[in-house]
Amino acid sequence: MSLGKTLKTLACLLLFSCGSLAVAEEYPLSVAAIFADHMVLQQGVTLSVWGTAPEGGSVTVTIGKTSAVASAGQDGKWTALLSPLKAGGPFEMTISSGETLKLADVMVGEV
């Protein structure tokens, strides 16, 4: 193989390997659209809260005195399971993983 072909091959390999690094996505912290300000959560049941966060990141969901921790997978998806809540509110739900999202005026009761 000539030196020119070798250099072209190396350049292509380098380009493809750098391109694959650029394709790796970083997922920002987010919560599913179903969770929003002024929502009502069902009392007395285990609650699932889900969204995306940076891969491998730890996500903490807190409402009132109840918290749950989840880890974001390779696809950035996470799900936290909150222990059953008693009726009440308004509460603030916080979702944090390096940054913090806050949902205001959250009520717990019969849905």
* pLDDT value of residue 15: 39
Total count of residues recorded for the chain: 111
* pLDDT value of residue 1: 54
Options 2.60.40.10, 3.40.50.720, 1.10.10.10, 2.60.120.620; CATH of 26-109: 2.60.40.10
Which tens digit of pLDDT belongs to each residue from 49-105? 999 999 999 999 999 999 999 999 999 999 999 999 999 999 999 999 999 999 999
pTM of the model: 0.77
- 61 burial (CB, 10 Å; 0-12 / 13-18 / 19+) is buried
**How far is 110 from 44, CA to CA, in rounded Å?**
9
Task: Kindly tell me if the per-residue pLDDT of 42 is higher than 80.
Answer: yes
Domain boundaries, the chain: 26-109
Better-predicted residue by pLDDT, 4 or 83:
83
